[in-house]
């Protein structure tokens, strides 16, 4: 865990290839607000926020970072999510003045930590101050993408360049906490998401687990009394204890 100190107490940056879109048209903001899980209409200029698209049963189809620029909305997403985002516009734009312009795959700098400057689009990643920028940040240490992604995985959040829990109920993932605004109004799948949230019952939820000794947790499933009680997504050990992110 100490390897993450540079991110938590100082700051680090990586360069990541992402799919870049621009959202055009007079109805662009209202259309996207009605499709995505988080509030679009009140996102301040110069900031970013993680968003998700879910199907009518509340399962994740794609996730992305929405940037509110001085000239309109832009989207950065894992390349694997680009086709789904494009398809959502093709299927649901009927009479609205809204268009998605594909700017292709681009390299972006992503910085995280308390020393992050305000030279790009600011927001939160893994609970820390972060930014997206087309240019490299001065005086911020360049770290490995592996370190950066593993830090996010320990928070249960999506890594920057990989699709996250596609096809899984969003309530069962950290995206429900970071990308869903239950007060924003309707979006496709909102009724199911709300029902699960208010009448949760037996359902999976993301957690951080610790096992000691380390050989107590070695597989991708945790079995108790013959029943699967946890699904493990990422784990690591420091020689004394094994930690993992999981759904229980």
Task: Tell me the per-residue pLDDT of 74-118, one tens digit each, with 9 for 90 and over.
Answer: 999 999 999 999 999 999 999 999 999 999 999 999 999 998 988
**Residue 121 has what pLDDT?**
97
pLDDT in tens, 146-191: 999 989 988 889 999 999 999 999 998 999 999 999 999 899 999 9
How far apart, in Å, are the Cα atoms of 2 and each of 7, 149, 210?
10, 15, 16
- Which one-letter DSSP state was computed for residue 2? G
Confidence of residue 238 (pLDDT cuts 50, 70, 90): low
pTM of the predicted structure, to 2 decimals: 0.87
Name the residue with higher pLDDT: 181 or 2: 181
Nearest to 160 by CA among 174, 145, 172, 143: 145
For residues 77 and 64, the answer to whether their CB atoms sit within 8 Å is: yes
* Of the listed ranges 42-56, 64-78, 207-221, the one predicted with least confidence: 207-221
Helices (H) and strands (E) in the chain, counts: 6, 12
Characterize the bridge pairing of strands 12-24 and 141-142.
parallel
Give the Cα separation of 131 and 163 in Å (integer).
Answer: 20
Q: Minimal CA–CA distance to 28: which of 70, 89, 84?
A: 89
- pLDDT tier for residue 213 given thresholds of 50, 70 and 90: low
Dump the DSSP string for 155-205: TTPPPSSS--STTSBGGGSTHHHHH--TTS---TTHHHHHHHHHT--S---
Q: What is the pLDDT of residue 23?
A: 97
pLDDT at site 217: 59
The single residue listed with the structure tokens 């900031």 is 47
Q: Check if the beta carbon of residue 50 is closer than 8 Å to that of residue 65.
A: yes
Least confident span in 70-79, 124-133, 228-237: 228-237
């Amino acid at each position: 865990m100490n390897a993450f100190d540079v991110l938590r107490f100082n700051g680090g940056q990586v360069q990541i290839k992402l799919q870049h879109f621009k959202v055009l048209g007079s109805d662009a903001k209202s259309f996207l607000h009605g499709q995505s899980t988080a509030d679009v209409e009140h996102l301040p200029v110069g900031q970013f926020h993680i968003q998700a698209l879910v199907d009518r049963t509340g399962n994740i189809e794609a996730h992305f970072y929405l940037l509110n620029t001085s000239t309109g909305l832009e989207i950065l997403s894992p390349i694997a999510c680009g086709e789904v985002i494009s398809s959502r516009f093709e299927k649901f734009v009927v009479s609205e003045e809204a268009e998605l312009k594909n700017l292709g795959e681009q390299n972006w700098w992503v910085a995280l930590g308390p020393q992050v400057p305000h030279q790009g689009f600011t927001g939160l990643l893994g609970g820390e101050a972060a930014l997206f920028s087309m240019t490299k940040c001065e005086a911020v240490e360049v770290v490995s993408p592996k370190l950066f992604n593993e830090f996010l995985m320990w928070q249960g959040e999506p890594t920057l360049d990989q699709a996250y829990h596609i096809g899984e109920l969003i309530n069962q993932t950290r995206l429900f906490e970071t990308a869903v605004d239950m007060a924003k109004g309707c979006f496709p799948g909102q009724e199911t998401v709300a029902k699960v949230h208010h009448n949760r019952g037996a359902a999976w939820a993301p957690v951080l687990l610790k096992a000691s000794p380390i050989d107590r947790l070695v597989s991708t499933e945790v079995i108790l009394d013959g029943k699967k009680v946890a699904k493990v997504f990422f784990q690591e050990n420091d020689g004394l204890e094994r930690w993992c992110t999981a759904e229980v």
